[in-house]
Structure 1
Amino acid sequence: MRALAAFCGAAAAVVYAWGGLLLAGAVVEAEDGGTNSSPLLPCRDVTGREEELQRVVDYSVGFVPLRFDCELTGGGSYDSGAVPGAVSANAAGLALSGVVLAVSARYGAERAVRTRNRAGTPSPHGDGGTDGDRNGP
């Protein structure tokens, strides 16, 4: 279980890093400037917001969850979709699974030690006595 917990943690980190790269790419694209840079390039990929497209003045980024928001004149914003919502959801799900597996592995190990001690089998740490000192055989 510990190995699976470590795998889930590593997979969560990889998914989150991939989303971070997507976010960094959108920021680089937004900061590019030059000809054809208004409205911001990452903000153009959203369909159904053509009327808001001309009101885009800036952007903001979020890290939990990963997102690239297009800021509008007069307030308000919308998610550009530069980082798919599934990226943050998958990273969170994998991280949560890793934590649950790590806690389960720890609980299982403690339960095995308690069961072994009840059965009278000496623990692998050499604690054969019950007086608290390590009077190993």
Structure 2
Amino acid sequence: MITFLEFVLQNLLFIGLHLDCRSSFPKQLSKAEERECIEKIAAGDAEARNVLIEHNLRLVAYIVNKNYPESIRGSQQDADDLISIGTIGLIRAAETFDYSKGSHFSTYASRCIDNAITHQRKHIREFQ
């Protein structure tokens, strides 16, 4: 958990820059590059984890736009909050993905992103 929080804090500026420049996401990794990153992550390579996360930030924005359009129309802060929460889901996906199970990273990451957002929204509603 500490490593996860350290990563988020270290890359807060990075995430913020991507939120401000949504149209300038890095290109998507090829299947070979993605698999190489995942293998390096399994071996403990933090840089490979950062690369995988960076190149999948577009997926977070896509899921927020597709699944939560009411928040996008609401306010920019709501959209930014959902993208931030979704990014945490993406980070978890990068840390827990198992290529040997036969699914694609984007499929697994989509579920993690959506689950993180759903969980947070449910948690917020409980306190309102």
Question: Common fold, TM-score beyond 0.5?
Answer: no
Specify the structure having the higher radius of gyration (Cα): 1
**Which has the larger helix fraction?**
2
TM range (shorter): under 0.3
Under a length normalisation based on structure 2, what TM-score does the superposition of the two structures give?
0.26
**Which has the larger strand fraction?**
1
Under a length normalisation based on structure 1, what TM-score does the superposition of the two structures give?
0.25
- Larger relative contact order (Cα-Cα within 8 Å, sequence gap ≥ 6): 1
